[in-house]
Amino acid sequence: MKRKSQGFTLVELMVIVAIIGTLAAIAIPNYRDYVTKTRRADAQAVLLQNAQIMERGYTVNNRYTCTSPPIVAAAPIDGSTKYYTIAVDDDGSCADDYFRLVATPTGSQVGDGALSLDSAGLRRWNKNGGGWQNSWK
Residue 76 lies in a domain: yes
Do the beta carbons of residue 47 and residue 85 sit within 8 Å?
no
Q: How far is CA 129 from CA 90, 91, 125, in A?
A: 15, 16, 9
Q: How far apart are CA 83 and CA 93, in angstroms?
A: 25
How many domains in the chain?
1
The percent helix, strand, coil of the chain (3-state, each to 5) is: 45, 15, 40
pLDDT, tens only, 43-89: 999 999 989 988 888 888 888 877 666 677 777 777 788 899 988 87
Residue 1 lies in a domain: no
pLDDT, tens only, 78-134: 778 889 998 887 566 677 888 889 999 998 898 888 999 998 999 999 987 778 888
The answer, yes or no, to whether the previous bond of 105 is cis (omega within 30 of 0) is no
Q: How far apart are CA 105 and CA 40, in angstroms?
A: 9
- Does residue 30 carry a pLDDT above 90? yes
Residue 57 lies in a domain: yes
- Does residue 14 carry a pLDDT above 80? yes
Residue 31 lies in a domain: yes
Q: Which pLDDT does position 24 carry in this prediction?
A: 94
Residue 3 lies in a domain: no
Q: Which pLDDT does position 123 carry in this prediction?
A: 94
Helical H runs in 1-116?
Answer: 10-61
Max mean pLDDT range (1-15, 20-34, 71-85, 94-108): 20-34
- Does residue 15 carry a pLDDT above 90? yes
Tell me which residue range forms the domain holding 70.
10-129
Q: How far apart are CA 59 and CA 63, in angstroms?
A: 8
